[in-house]
Amino acid sequence: MNPRLPALLARLGPFLGLLLVTALFALPAETREHFLSYGNLKIVLTQTVIVAIGALGMTLIIVSGGIDLSVGSSIACTSVVGALLLQRGWGPLPVVLAIVGAGAVLGLINGLSIALLRVVPFIITLGTLGVARGGAKWLADNQTVNYESSPINGWMTTADPFGYALPAGVWVAGGLALVMAAVLRRTVFGRHVFALGSNEAAARLCGVETARLKVAIYAVAGATFGAAGVFQLARLRQGDPTVAVGLELDIIAAVIIGGASLSGGVGTVLGSMIGALIMAVLRNGSQQMGWPTYFQEIIIGLVIIVAVFVDRLRQGRASAA
């Protein structure tokens, strides 16, 4: 057997998965016509944006051997902040910067707590999941925050299903993915993230300032969660403190389906993006098939298990040889 074959399969794995789920909905007679239409493609891409942008930061965190459970709450909290500022008449650019900044601050709090208190990320972010959600409700006075129209509202629209222009959110997600992929692969910061996730003790021995690095990772990831918050706001056109409950699980699932390892040191931005698309295709296709939502939840749950199992098979084979 060609020794490169497993490596090739590993790289293509997520793509094959995407092809498979696409075929699942493109072939049946009920959905064949509409599913692969440009209009629907646009809807799928737009529905991927929030999970995809969140998955960028999550990839960084998971590759470093960490986890962040507070993403859904962060997205809700930052989008409420944005809505409040729009209410006060701020322009779109300052609002975007403020939302991203708020996300970075939440991430910074996570990172500092993890590095200084030396408590595992799972626990710290389980705590901030509650703190950020409560904070969002407090800021919003426990109701939705409405504001007069803003250009932000148009960034996720697919109102014109036959137009060719993709909404801004899709372009931003794509652009951010390219940047994050380059950062992970080609910068000192990115290589240190892999080193930290692969073997923290060895990274420390080699002079990597692991505590500082963790703070930076969670802050950068927090900024991407803020960016996801911008598009959450654009989609809802109001600040809702109860939105995105459980979204962290979708985001983590996208990263894991994309081939990252929860034990750190392994993962790619491209894989995570494909993972996010697989989830969106499954959701969109199930809706078109008229399947109930509980059925969608079961399918997505099974896909996660299958994806990780396939990954494990591949790794098992690699280590036996």
Partner 1 sequence: MSVAPALELRGIRKRFGATEALRGVSLAVAPGEVHALIGENGAGKSTLMKVLSGAHQPDAGEMALAGQPYRPAGPPDARRRGVAMIYQELTLAPHLSARENILLGLEPARAGWINVAAARAAARDALAQLGHGELDLERPAGAFGIAERQIIEIARALVGRPRVLILDEPTSSLTGADAERLFAVITRLRDQGVSIIYISHFLEECRRLCDRYTVLKDGASVGAGRMAETTPDELVTRMTGREVRDLYPRHARAAGEPLLEVRTLAAGPRLRGADCVVRAGEIFGLAGLIGAGRTELLRAVFGLDPRSAGGVRFGGEEAAARPRGCWAQGAGFLSEDRKEEGLLLSQPLGDNLTLTKLGAFSRAGWIDTGRQTAAAARWIAALRIRCLGPGQPVGQLSGGNQQKVALARLLEHPARILLLDEPTRGIDVGSKAEIYTLIGELAASGKAVVVASSHLPELLGLCDTIGVMCRGSLVAVRPRAQWSEAELLRVATGAAAPSS
**Which chain residues interact with partner 1 by CB under 8 A?**
1, 3, 186-189, 191-192, 194-195, 198-199, 201-209, 265-266, 317, 320-321
Q: How many C-beta neighbours within 10 Å does residue 10 have?
A: 17
Distance CA 75, CA 227 (A): 8
Beta carbon of residue 186, minimum distance to partner 1 (angstroms, whole number): 5
Q: How far is the CB of 310 from partner 1 (least distance, A)?
A: 18
Half-sphere exposure of 110 (CA within 13 A, CB side): 38
Q: Which residue has the tokens 């710290």?
A: 124
Instruction: Please identify, using beta-carbon distances, which residue of 178 and 245 lies nearer to partner 1.
Output: 178
Q: What are phi and psi of 275, to 5 degrees?
A: -55, -45
Shortest gap between Cβ of 195 and partner 1 (angstroms)?
A: 5
Residue with Cβ nearer partner 1 (159 or 320): 320
Residue 140 or 196: the one with the smaller Cβ distance to partner 1 is: 196
Contacts of 287 (CB under 8 A, 6+ apart): 296
CB of 179 to partner 1, least distance (A): 12
Q: Which is nearer to partner 1, 96 or 203 (CB)?
A: 203
Euclidean distance between CA atoms 100 and 228, whole angstroms: 9
CA proximity to 227, closest of 169, 156, 149: 169
- Residues 259 and 315: their CA atoms lie apart, in Å, by 11
Inter-CA distances, 210 with 121, 128, 135, Å: 14, 22, 30
Least CB distance from residue 321 to partner 1, whole Å?
Answer: 5
CB of 198 to partner 1, least distance (A): 4
Residue placing its CB nearer to partner 1 in the complex, 12 or 202: 202
Closer to partner 1 at the Cβ: 159 or 205? 205
Which residues does 53 contact at the CB level (< 8 Å), separation at least 6?
A: 172, 173, 176, 224, 227, 228, 231
Q: Closer to partner 1 at the Cβ: 19 or 313?
A: 313
Identity of the residue, 287 or 315, whose beta carbon is nearer to partner 1 in the bound complex: 315
The CB-of-3 to partner 1 minimum distance in angstroms stands at: 6
* Nearest distance from C-beta of residue 244 to partner 1, angstroms: 32
Contacts of the segment 87-90: beta carbons below 8 A, 24+ positions apart? 87/145, 87/146, 87/147
How far apart are the C-alpha atoms of 128 and 268, rounded to whole Å? Answer: 26
With b meaning 16 or more CB within 10 Å and e meaning fewer, what string describes 280-318?
A: bbbbbbbbeeeeeeeebeebbeebbeebbebbeeeeeee
